A and B are shown apart, each in its own frame.
Chain A
Amino acid sequence: MVDAAEIAYLTVFLASDKAWAVTGELVVATGGAGRSVYY
């Protein structure tokens, strides 16, 4: 199972200067759960 801290690491990156190029996006952080393919 994914730990809350791992959601936090991703959030902190998106909150940073370094994430300038990422906006309007959806990021899934489940450890790869499920078998559906999104394209």
Chain B
Amino acid sequence: MDLGLRGRHAIVTGGSLGIGKAIARELAREGADVAIVARTKDRLEATARELAAETGRRVIPLVADVTSRAQVDAMVAQAAGQLGSLHILVNSGSPPGGSATATGPIEAVVDEDLLHDFDVKYVGALRCARAAIPFMKEQGWGRIINISGLNARNAGNLSGGARNTSLVHLTKTLAVQLGRHGITVNCIHPGITRTERTPRLLAPGPPSSASPPTTSRSATSPTIPLAGTRSGAWWTRPRSPT
């Protein structure tokens, strides 16, 4: 199946590492040119060089903070200018989970940190979409994909879970508003996902019987990890059904 992505132009926020980087890589592998966006210049430029060398596509590093409307507007205009047009926006520009000071008992929540979490993930996605939509409308074709997270469905996180739910609302509302312009808007909930950060995050205290994964699951196991969320053992591979 030809996905028809050759010659498309994309923006991926959070594209310097983690899920965003993986998405930028696959878009480029499918033939798209990609602008990757993050706040940290050095890492962003290193990722752009790495992905461009790997895929042979244009991968442009653009430094921007998604909590600033001015920076987002300038970044999107620059991406569209350098790439020639803009077809795809992937909002992946947020660290997972939410601030430590905004995810515990309500008495301990620091309002400013909670608001900042929403400012990055929810309003950040809104800002990027608002800036990108005029370019998509111009050609009557666009794709917006919001990377949210499964803790939207699990009570207990007043920041990370709540803002993930807010992205689902943003997704449907934009889909309703933009469908007549040929623009689709969808949302993905990843669960616990292995990235290059995973070994470090697991380091503090995995059970002695388990070791952090270092290779792709698909390379090591054909098993779908249905049982992968048992507390304290979520990175172990489930047993085969008997």
Contacts and interface: CB of A to CB of B under 8 A. Distances in A.
A2 to B, nearest CB: 5
- How many chain A residues sit at the interface, stated as a range, is 20 to 34
Contact of B226 (A16, A18, A33): A33
Contact of B186 (A8, A9, A22, A30): A22
A11 B224 contact: no
A19 to B, nearest CB: 7
Q: What does DSSP make chain B's interface, helix, strand, loop or mixed?
A: mixed
Given A7-B22, A12-B23, A15-B5, A1 B184 contact: no
Given A1-B235, A5-B26, A20-B184, A32 B19 contact: no
Contact of B184 (A4, A12, A14, A36): A14
A33 B228 CA distance: 6
Contact of A11 (B1, B4, B23, B234): B23
B188 A14 contact: yes
B186 A25 contact: yes
B234 A1 contact: yes
A37 B237 CA distance: 22
Interface in B170-227: 171-172, 175-176, 179, 184-195, 198, 213, 216-218, 224-226
Contacts of A13: 3
9 contacts: A2-B192, A6-B218, A7-B22, A11-B145, A16-B3, A23-B186, A26-B187, A27-B187, A33-B191
Given A2-B217, A24-B184, A30-B190, 10 more contacts: A1-B194, A1-B228, A7-B147, A11-B147, A18-B3, A19-B186, A23-B184, A30-B191, A32-B226, A33-B234
